[in-house]
Amino acid sequence: MGSRIEAVFGGVLVLLVIAAAIVALVNMPGGRGPGDHYAGGGNGELPQILPVGPIGANEYVCPCFESAFELAGSSVDVMSSQYRTGYEQCRAVGSSAGADAWTAGWNARLSARPFEASCRSYVRSASR
């Protein structure tokens, strides 16, 4: 009789552990929960770096610089998909100038004086 009670409580315990694991997997960031309607991994969001629609010749430089500056302050590194996506977007729109602005923004945040870095100072130094 004692072993039957242990078996019942053991079975209930196993079911609770499995249920907790399923709930944890569904509620994880990037997990497939209710309302997720995307294909692919991660959280399904790609960074929006550049404005949507037609832009002028120099309108991509500051958005690229500032987006890279902000991204460098988060917990991502150069090998992350966010960095590569932003860099590729800036390079596609602005050729080498967009890629240079992205790199300058990233490096400005990681420099010893990020409080002095701004897009305006980058544009001034790049035009020399």
What DSSP letter does each residue of 96-128 carry, written as one string?
Answer: HHHHHHHHHHHHHHHSS-GGG--HHHHHHHHT-
At 43 the three-state DSSP class reads coil
How far is residue 114 CA from its own chain's centroid?
A: 21
Using the 8-state DSSP alphabet, how is residue 14 labeled?
Answer: H
According to DSSP H, which parts of the chain are helical? 2-27, 61-72, 81-110, 119-126
Q: How far apart are CA 126 and CA 102, in angstroms?
A: 13
Q: pLDDT tens digits, residue range 91-108?
A: 888 778 888 889 999 998
Confidence of residue 84 (pLDDT cuts 50, 70, 90): very high
Query: What phi and psi, each to the nearest 5 degrees, are found at residue 111?
Result: -75, 175
Q: pLDDT tens digits, residue range 31-83?
A: 444 443 333 334 444 455 554 444 444 677 888 899 999 998 888 888 999 99
At 46 the three-state DSSP class reads coil
Counting beta carbons within 10 angstroms of the beta carbon of residue 21, is it exposed (0 to 12), middle (13 to 18) or buried (19 or more)?
exposed
Q: Which amino acid is at 50?
A: L
